[in-house]
Amino acid sequence: MSANAFIRLLHHPVKFRLYLLWKLPAAFFSGVRLRVIDEQHCEVTVPYKWFSQNPFRSTYFACLAMAAEMSSGLLAMVHINAQRAKVSSLVVKFEAAYFKKAVTRTRFICNDGGLLKAAIEKAIATGEPQVVETVSTGTNASGEKIAECKITWSFKTKSRP
């Protein structure tokens, strides 16, 4: 499947929500939603609502982390699905810095599609696992930085049976 075909599939409102419900029910019920994606960047949002809040009246950090990971993970999926070889992916490290309480919808943007594509292509070309660090930045409706998350991915080709 080409990258553009996979992106069109992600933008299908019903199919992507069914995918979330089936594979990532916590993201579905927390209200994590894909807003924009292309081969270079991805934007994902998470609302501040009853299901995603903590006792301190802000968005629970795990919901923020879920949206941050999804913004880079969907980019990885775009580039993996564009390959003929089977590639496995794994988050090997997650770091987050939180700067402000998330009390409105938080938007996470990852602009590391090129880094992910290069790592995936190198894993296929060399047969060796490749590790790449992506950054996803979360902002509120006013554009204030809420969080910055560094997600480190490992990619390797799957052995053929």
The model's pLDDT over 54-78, given as tens digits with 9 standing for 90+, comes to: 889 999 899 999 999 999 999 999 9
Residue spans per domain, the chain: 3-157
Q: Which residue has the higher pLDDT, 22 or 2?
A: 22
pLDDT digits (tens, 9 = 90+) for 100-142: 999 999 999 999 999 999 999 999 999 999 999 999 999 999 9
> Where do we find the tokens 């047969």?
127
Distance CA 82, CA 116 (A): 12
- For 96, the token pair is 């987050």
CATH of 3-157, one of 1.10.510.10, 3.30.43.10, 3.30.470.10, 3.10.129.10: 3.10.129.10
Among 55, 67, 149, 54, which residue's Cα sits nearest to residue 105?
Answer: 67
Residue 141's nearest CA partner among 112, 103, 114 is: 103
